[in-house]
Amino acid sequence: MTDASSISTRRAWAATLVLSLSLLVITMDMTILNIALPTMSRELQPSGEQLLWMVDVYSLVLAGLLVASSAVADRWGRKRLLLTGYTIFAVASLLVLVADSPNAVIAIRALLGVGGSMIMPTTLSLIRTIFSDTRQRAMALAMWSAIAGLGAAVGPLVGGLLLVHMSWHSAFLVNVPLMVVAIVAGLLLLPESVSEKPGAWDWPTVGLSFSGMVALMWSIKKFGKEADLAVPSAWIVLAVAVVALTLFVRRSLRQDDPMFDVGLFRSRPFTGGIAGALGSMFAMAAALLLLAQWLQSVDGSSPIATGVKLVPMALAAAAASLVAPKLATMIGPRAVLAGAIALSGIGMIVVYLIPGELSYSAIVVALCLVGAGIGSLAVGSVLIMSGSPEHRAGNAAAMEETSYEVGSVLGVAILGSLASVMYRAELDASGHLDDVPAKLAGPARESIGAAVDIADAAHLPEMARAAGDAFTGSMQITSLVGGVIMLAVAAVVWFVVPRGTTLDAAVGH
C-alpha cells in the first residue's frame, strides 16, 4: 500500500527538504500579497467588498477543503495529490497575466486556495509516513517547521524587491518557477503513500465539513472587520457553522469506519498538540500583524526594512525548531512544548513592560523570545503526528493545519478588534481629529496608515504623533493580553499531555 517507509535515509531527507521548501513558497506567497495589496488597489480600484474578498477567499477555500483534500490523499496517493496541488498553484499564479479586474484576482486567489489545501496537510502526512523512527521524524518535522517559518520573513523582502522593479503581477508570477522546480523534484524524490485504512468515502461528511468551516471562517472575519457584535448576517452564518460542524462531528463519531476520525482527540498527546497550535496562533496572530503595521506606520520603516527587522524572530524560530526535538528527548516533549508557549507569552508581555518610548531595539528582545517559542512548537507537530496512527496521518495533518488557520483568524478578529477599539478611543480622546474634516477623520480612526497619510498631507505633525501614540498603546495592551493567553495555553498543554509522554507518543494516552 505504501513505499514511503522503505526508502533510503538519504532520499528521505531529500524528500523532507522538498516538502519543506514547497511549504515555504506557500507561506511566502501569503505575506507577499500583503505587500502588494496597496499597489493592486491603486491599479484595479476594487470596491471595499472586493478588496476583502481578494484577501479572504484564499483562507476560506483552503480551510473548507482541508478535510476533503486529506481524505483524497489517503485514497488516491499523497504524492499524486501533492503534485496536483503544485500544478494548480503554478497554473493559478500564471493566470494573473490575464487578470485585469478585481473579480479575476478573486478567482485566482480561490484557485490558489484549492492548491494550498492539497499542499499544506499533505507535506505533513508524507513526513509522518516517510520516517518510522520517531526521533528522525521529530527532526524532519523540525526542519519542516524551520524552513516553512522563514517564509513569513522572506515574503516581505521578496515582495518589496519585486514591487520596486516590477508590477504587482510579479507577486503571483514568482510562484511559477518555484512550483515547477517542486514538481520536478517531487517526481524524482518523493515516495508514494496511501492509507491502508482510509475510511469510507462519505459525501455528507465532505459537504458538512466544507460548509461548516467556510461559514465559521467567514463569520469570524465579519465580526472582526465590523468590530461589533451587532452584525445579524454574521450571527446567522455562525449559527449555520455551528449546526454544520456539530452534525459533522456526530456523523464521524457514529460511523464504524469514518472518513475523518474525530476520535483522534481521545489521544491526549494529540489533543495537547492541537491545543498548543490553536491557542498559540490565537494569541500571537493579531500581535504580530499589529507589530508589522507599527514598524511601517509608526517606526517609519519601508516594507523591505520591515521584513529585515522581523528576521530576528524567524532566525530564532529556525534555531529553536532544530534544538527543540533534542531537548524533548532529554526532558520530555510536555515540558518543551509548554515551556516554549510560555516563553512566547513572556516575549509578548515584554512589549507591554518596556519602559519609556517604544523602540525597535527593545522590540528585538521580544521578537527573539517569541521566535524561540514559535520554533519549539515543532514539538507540537511531533505530538500530533505521532499521537495518531499512520493510516490516519492525513486526518491528523488536516486537523493541525485547521487549528493554525482557525486560531489565526480568531486571534485577528477578536484581539485585532480589541486593538482597534482602544486605538480609536485614545485617538478621539487626544482631540487632534477636531482639526480634520469629517470625511477624513473616519479613515484616520480606522487605520494608523490612513491617519499618518492624512496628517502628512494636512501638515499636522501633532496628529500623526497622537495617532502613533494611540496605536502603540493599543498594540502594547493587545500584546499583554495575548501574552497572558499564551501562559494560560501553556498551562493547558502541561495538564493535557500526560506525564512521561515521549516523542513516540502512543495513541490512546
CA gap 457, 451 in Å, rounded: 10
The label of the residue with cell 512548537 reads 377
34 — pLDDT class (breaks 50, 70, 90): low
Cα torsion 26, 31, 34, 39: sign: negative
pLDDT of residue 508 exceeding 50: no
Task: Please report the DSSP string for 439-507 in residue order.
Answer: HHHHHHHH-HHHHHHHHHHTT-HHHHHHHHHHHHHHHHHHHHHHHHHHHHHHHHHHHHSPTT--TTPPT
Chain-centroid distance, C-alpha 180: 24
Residues 147-158: pLDDT tens digits?
776 776 677 677
H/E element, 62: helix 48-76
Residues 171-218: pLDDT tens digits?
888 889 989 999 999 999 998 888 777 777 888 988 999 999 899 989
CB atoms inside a 10 Å sphere around CB 321 = 29
Region 16-38: mean pLDDT is: 78
Between residues 163 and 130, the one the model is more confident about: 130
Region 44-48: mean pLDDT is: 79
CA quadruple 270, 272, 278, 281: dihedral, nearest 10: -120
Residues 428-469: pLDDT tens digits?
888 877 777 777 777 777 778 778 888 887 788 888 888 888
pLDDT of residue 491 exceeding 90: yes
- Which residues are within 8 A (CB) of 331 and not within 5 positions of it... i.e. 6 or more apart? none
Long-range contacts of 106-109 (CB under 8 A, 24+ apart): 106/50, 106/53, 106/54, 106/57, 108/172, 109/54, 109/57, 109/58
pLDDT of residue 160 exceeding 80: no
As a residue count, the chain comes to: 509
The residue among 360, 361, 366 whose CA lies nearest residue 346 is 366
Between residues 161 and 326, the one the model is more confident about: 326
Cell of 441: 477623520
Region 351-365: mean pLDDT is: 84
pLDDT of res. 480: 94
CB 90 within 8 A of CB 183: yes
CA gap 190, 251 in Å, rounded: 34
pLDDT of res. 172: 87
pLDDT of res. 463: 84
pLDDT of res. 349: 94
Cell of 331: 526532558
Region 263-273: mean pLDDT is: 88
Which of 200-209, 225-234, 240-249 reaches the highest mean pLDDT?
240-249
pLDDT of residue 427 exceeding 50: yes
Cell of 319: 534555531
pLDDT of res. 509: 44
DSSP 300: -
CA gap 36, 155 in Å, rounded: 11
Q: 3-state DSSP helix/strand/coil percent for the chain, to nearest 5?
A: 85, 0, 15
Region 57-77: mean pLDDT is: 87
pLDDT of res. 149: 67
H/E element, 312: helix 311-331
The label of the residue with cell 506557500 reads 26
CA gap 497, 438 in Å, rounded: 54
Residue 243 three-state SS: helix
pLDDT of res. 1: 44
87 — pLDDT class (breaks 50, 70, 90): very high
- Which residues are within 8 A (CB) of 121 and not within 5 positions of it... i.e. 6 or more apart? 66, 69, 70, 73, 394, 397, 398, 400, 401
pLDDT of residue 132 exceeding 90: no
The residue among 61, 60, 50 whose CA lies nearest residue 101 is 50
CA gap 126, 81 in Å, rounded: 11
DSSP 310: T
193 forms beta bridges with: 2
Between residues 220 and 391, the one the model is more confident about: 220
pLDDT of residue 113 exceeding 50: yes
4 — pLDDT class (breaks 50, 70, 90): low
